[in-house]
Amino acid sequence: MDDLEELFANLSWDEVPPADLARGTRNAMKAVARSHHPEPDCRAQRGRRAIPPLAILPDMILCGPCPIRLLVLSVSRAPAIAGCPYTEAIHP
């Protein structure tokens, strides 16, 4: 038997994530779920075509048919945008 197998057997555990990370992720999941279904309700997009502060950041995804981009890597730190239901959900 490989002598490292026993060592690595200790590297399996459940661990509650830090509270802020868990909260941000949970809120982001809810926001993304709503952004895809059934129809986007993007108040922030009314009257303007783009949201410059988020549009220039890397690591973004498109939220379904809505042109709002949500920062994935640090979504919990994304700024709240007035009228944007996604970022407002993250930062109520």
Q: Which residues bind other proteins (CB under 8 A)?
A: 2-5, 7-8, 10-18, 21-22, 24-26, 28-30, 32-34, 36-38, 61, 63, 72-76
Tell me the one-letter amino acid at 7. Answer: L
> CA 17, CA 89: separation in Å to the nearest integer?
20
Question: Contact at 8 Å (CB) between 63 and 86?
Answer: yes
Q: Return the number of the residue (5 or 47) whose C-beta is nearest other proteins.
A: 5
Cβ closer to other proteins: 38 or 47?
A: 38
Q: How far is the CB of 80 from other proteins (least distance, A)?
A: 17
Q: Are 32 and 64 in contact (CB under 8 A)?
A: no
